[in-house]
Amino acid sequence: MSRDRVPTRMLPSGDEMPLIGFGTWRLHDDTLRAALDAAIAAGYRHFDTAQAYGNEADIGDHLAEYDREEFFITSKVVGSDLAYDRVIRTCRESIDRLGTDYLDLYMIHLPNPAISLRETLSAMATLVKERLVRNVGVSNFDAYRLSCAQHIADVPIAVNQIEFHPIFQQPGLVEYCTQTDVVIEAAAPLGRGAVFSDELVTSISEKYGKSNAQVVLRWILEQDIVSLPRSSNPAHVEENIDILDWKLTEDDRHALDDHPRDEAIYTMPTAHWENDDYGIIH
């Protein structure tokens, strides 16, 4: 499959971000390498990782066999490293591990109220100025935090990566992102497996002769939302991007739109501050 067949969204820098990416959370060693082989062969050119995933070096080693310009690479800085100097250092370390000269997208992985957001975004602007980062994003930001970031940042907030799938759609946040030209990325677009047993998704997938994953990813694609499916199974990796040559009917799309949609899989109303990701509890 040619990378040119995957639709894209234009970011403020003018870069085109593929609407289907490959998530690498909890993929390591031989499992990761086999999944990357399958993803590249299937046509994925957008790869999402993070400092916290612990797999940047393996990804970098694998992608080094190819032309860097073929890929859109994202990484994220963990919430405990959001002070100015630590953002700069962490980004340089991620770039080194990935074996590249720059990141297409660098994101705040988690908001951390114990560290000044202005300080973090100032560091992000420095990274853009030094051409180490082409686009800046945030992850797990609600509309309030995103609005704050937009008002104090010296560079555009290009992307907000959030939990988004038929069971948890966050319509208010999606509407705000749309209104302010922030591209939405669906992290865990398959609800970490929850959509596989969902009755509505299953009934629609049977009509099309498609998998539940394909139906959900097609529904996300038709909203111009980026999806980041993850799988260690090469057959599933290929299946998840095989959604470009068919469409959902309007009725089926609306049925998924109207699905009960308030069941979060990992987005919590309050944070567990003892988590090392925040660096608050010592």
Give the active site residues: 53
Contact 88, 50 (CB under 8 A): no
Question: What does the DSSP assignment read for the chain?
Answer: --GGGS-EEE-TTSPEEESB-EE-TT--HHHHHHHHHHHHHHT--EEE--GGGT-HHHHHHHHTTS-GGG-EEEEEE-GGG-SHHHHHHHHHHHHHHHT-S-BSEEEESS--TTS-HHHHHHHHHHHHHTTSBS-EEEES--HHHHHHHHHH-SS-EEEEEEE-BTTB--HHHHHHHHHTTPEEEEESTTGGGGGGG-HHHHHHHHHHT--HHHHHHHHHHTTT-EE----S-HHHHHHHH--SS----HHHHHHHHTS--B--SS--SS--TTSTTT----
CA angle 83, 86, 87 (to 5 degrees): 80
Q: Which residues contact 48 (CB under 8 A, 6 or more apart)?
A: 21, 22, 23, 24, 74, 161, 185, 228
What whole-number distance in Å separates Cα of residue 35 and Cα of residue 234?
Answer: 6
- Say how many Å lie between the first and final Cα of the chain, rounded: 49
